């Protein structure tokens, strides 16, 4: 009788509790939940933070100090996935840029910050060199190519930056896609080219940047940085870029 009770007790113990496979199933469901939470958390990306992270990583790799990026600074609003992809592509491209170009970029940004030009001048880079981007409204009146007094003052302040380097400088004129048809400018090609030439002539004739380092290109409306669907975006496309060319072969700047 005691043996039968022991067998019954043993049988009841083996059948009590959850089956063994439930532990594995629970682990899998936990991992899936974690995965979906992670996907949701990165579904929107703060572009400025993303760019700051990339700059910080680059600075660390270059052996330079960099301010903390999670210090309560203001951030930009969430942006669409297409724009996030552009940021990712930009960071991937930056990863192929040589150290000399990154150092030049840092030097240019420091100069812009020290002279209080960050509100009027944007700085970016690619494999070719460093771009100093000046808004069209600062340099020219709408549909014109005569340099405004404020534009000349900006160029005066940038002269010291350009003289820090011996690199070639390509001045690029850009417009929006609004057609123009005047006696002087039958299309945006002529307007963008003339604006670039005016900047070149001012830098070498009125300032002391050597002529041999300067050249001018007009791109018209065909290299926009934003869709021409709003007045704000069209204003972004009306710009003059001064590209400080990096000689990647020699690495000199």
pLDDT tens per residue, range 173-199: 999 999 999 999 999 999 999 999 999
Q: What does the alpha-carbon distance between residue 170 and residue 192 come to, in Å, rounded to a whole number?
A: 13
Give residue 74's pLDDT band: very low, low, confident or very high (50, 70, 90): very low
- Are 235 and 136 contacting, i.e. CB atoms less than 8 angstroms apart? yes
Give me the percent of the chain exceeding a pLDDT of 70: 66
Handedness of CA 221, 223, 229, 230 (dihedral sign): negative
Q: What does the alpha-carbon distance between residue 210 and residue 163 come to, in Å, rounded to a whole number?
A: 9
Segment 107-152, tens digit of pLDDT: 999 999 999 999 999 999 888 899 999 988 999 998 999 999 999 9
Segment 76-91, tens digit of pLDDT: 445 455 555 555 555 5
Q: Apex CA 108: angle with CA 104 and CA 114, to 5°? A: 145
Nearest to 143, CA basis, from 179, 107, 104: 179
Give me the percent of the chain exceeding a pLDDT of 90: 53
- Are 109 and 164 contacting, i.e. CB atoms less than 8 angstroms apart? no
Tell me the domains of the chain and their CATH numbers. 98-245 (3.30.1330.60)
């Amino acid at each position: 009788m005691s043996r039968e009770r022991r067998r019954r007790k043993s049988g009841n113990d083996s059948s009590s509790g959850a089956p063994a496979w439930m532990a594995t199933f629970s682990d899998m469901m936990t991992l899936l939940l974690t995965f979906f939470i992670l996907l949701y958390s990165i579904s929107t990306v703060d572009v400025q933070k993303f760019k700051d992270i990339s700059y910080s990583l680059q600075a660390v790799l270059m052996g330079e100090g960099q301010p903390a990026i999670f210090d309560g600074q203001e951030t930009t609003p969430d942006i669409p996935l297409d724009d996030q992809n552009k940021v990712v592509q930009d960071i991937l491209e930056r990863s192929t840029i040589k150290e000399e170009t990154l150092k030049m970029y840092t030097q240019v940004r420091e100069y812009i910050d020290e002279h209080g030009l960050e509100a009027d001048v944007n700085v970016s880079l690619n494999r070719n060199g460093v771009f100093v981007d000046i808004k069209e409204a600062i340099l020219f009146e709408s549909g014109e190519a005569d340099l405004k007094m404020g534009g000349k003052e900006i160029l005066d302040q940038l002269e010291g930056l350009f003289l820090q380097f011996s690199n070639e400088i390509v001045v690029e004129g850009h417009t929006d896609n609004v057609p123009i048809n005047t006696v002087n400018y039958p299309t945006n090609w002529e307007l963008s080219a003339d604006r670039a030439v005016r900047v070149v002539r001012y830098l070498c004739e009125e300032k002391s940047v050597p002529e041999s380092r300067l050249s001018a290109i007009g791109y018209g409306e065909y290299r926009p940085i934003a869709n021409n669907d709003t007045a704000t975006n069209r204003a972004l496309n009306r710009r003059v870029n001064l590209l400080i060319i990096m000689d990647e072969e020699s690495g000199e700047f």
